[in-house]
Chains A and B, each alone.
Chain A
């Protein structure tokens, strides 16, 4: 066979093996992934909290999830990647059919990241609705790893029902840290007997916390309807648009601004996002 000329193929994924899998809820899973080829992993550039990747299930296609852990594998060692996904479509259903030892593809990291340096010394609130918490986890873990750089941290983890709450195993470790508080809430009707968390939608549960707005940064991710009501609530509480950061999600294919489907106006979620301030978001056309 003729030798194929080497090309810098932006679509060719790295190969990663599923090293561990943890079921968060009946349809949400967290995977731990390791590079099949350690040299390939050692050359991998690392990532910033907020960035995402395209994950390949060979034969089924690609899907987009946030990188859910913080970058690691410095000094030329192969990093470990984590992602949390919900089995909801064709590719994620196929991914749910894979288990420890199976190999998937990964390309990325893509997109911008959370402006963590701007948050130094500030009190932070992480508001995650359902699987939305997955997109915040890397930023939250980074804040917890550098605990002394930041003020008080409130994590508000909301889900439809008790069984749908992600990161139940991890939350106890988060709240053990000084100055970190975790509030769990489920939608009305989603509580079970013995539930000791809150009941209510994220915006109202957040209002109930009675926090001052002074310098506080709110980092939120959830379904469009949650963000819609959350922004109304934050406006009422007196938050300025610069104090609120979210991370957007849209259907994506390429990951770098070419395939043309994730745009909101001239803003491409994959290229210019996914992290946006509420201020930036308000300037975009209402095409969410």
Chain B
């Protein structure tokens, strides 16, 4: 670990957040609402919840909104008149992002920035966004970032990393964008402090006991597409799709029209492969007609269907929200682990 950066007291940290707010930026941070924690734009550092633990939803909506217009149209006598949506202009800092969620945003980049077409709205928002991550000092029961290549102190997708350190906070720049937010008056943290922080990170990571997802699982899972274990692990899926909505890396969306005889708009909104209508053809044919087939698609898209050049990128970042919130008690990590294990048992018994 790079051992440069600063050490701040809690009040210095809050002062800094207030300062960011004064500089005409939107600051988005975890706040408490109705007994739950959500990312919301804040107006004062006092609103920000700095405690361990995750927000209910990941911060992806601030880069990939739940709903956004793609263009609007007016229907005139001589035909429609189209208008592009305005490109976002305001800088934003998302503070208090967990390292898993920051890695989730990198998965969104793969879809919206690195494919055949770059999405201009996402690209602009991404360029205007700085991610200030808070390392985890405690794990939650559903956490498994270490099983999918992450870490409670991971820096993938992070611009500035803030590490809780006793009553204080250590701050480490990861990118130039992150460094630009640092204050000149900050005091450097000692070498010892960084060593202790690193030990703390390792200790936290060790609390996560989940089986690591091996690189070979991708191929094994696809070869076991027809495994009866999928029915066992996912047959009880209710297709409610909360897993996709809370997921920091799920990026599927719907495109449709809202309008009246005078005009309207084309909008994009979050959608999920676990919904029965997601792939339903107009003819009535549905390639993924059963909830187990849909759940298998979700699991394989995270762990197996990797686009060319993304060989070892697992799309799941191990936040575990889908496990904690699934009303049917489906555990995605356990599901894929069981499919892989059943295949290996099959091999041991001389089956293919």
Contacts and interface: CB of A to CB of B under 8 A. Distances in A.
A58 B257 contact: yes
A65 to B, nearest CB: 11
Given A61-B257, A288-B287, A103 B80 contact: yes
Interface stretch (A199-207, A210-218, A254-262): A254-262
Interface stretch (B208-216, B272-280, B324-332): B272-280
A61 B254 CA distance: 11
Nearest to B76: A103
Contacts of B111: 258, 260
B interface, how many residues as a size bin? 35 or more
B79 A11 contact: no
| Interface of A, helix, strand, loop or mixed by DSSP | loop
B225 to A, nearest CB: 4
Contacts of B306: 266
Given A259-B252, A260-B253, A10 B71 contact: no
B305 A58 contact: no
B287 A287 contact: yes
Of A36, A105, A251, most buried by chain B (CB within 10 Å of CB) is: A251
Nearest to A253: B255
Contacts, number: 137
Nearest to A101: B79
A63 B255 CA distance: 10
A63 B281 CA distance: 11
Contacts of A260: 111, 251-253, 271, 273, 301
B285 A9 contact: no
A214 to B, nearest CB: 34
B117 interface: yes
A224 B293 CA distance: 17
B20 interface: no
B217 interface: no
Contacts of A286: 225-226
A103 to B, nearest CB: 4
B80 A105 contact: yes
Nearest to A89: B282
B32 interface: no
B119 interface: yes
A62 B255 contact: yes
Contacts of A63: 282
B316 to A, nearest CB: 15
Interface of A: 2, 4-13, 15, 17, 36, 56-63, 88-89, 92, 103, 105, 223-224, 249-251, 253-254, 256-266, 271, 285-288
Interface of B: 70-71, 73, 75, 79-80, 82-84, 86-87, 111-112, 115-117, 119-121, 222, 225-226, 251-257, 259-261, 264, 266, 268, 271, 273, 278-283, 285, 287-288, 293, 297, 300-301, 304-307
Q: List 7 A-B pairs, minimum CB-CB distance, nearest first.
A: A260-B252, A89-B282, A59-B259, A103-B79, A11-B70, A266-B305, A285-B225
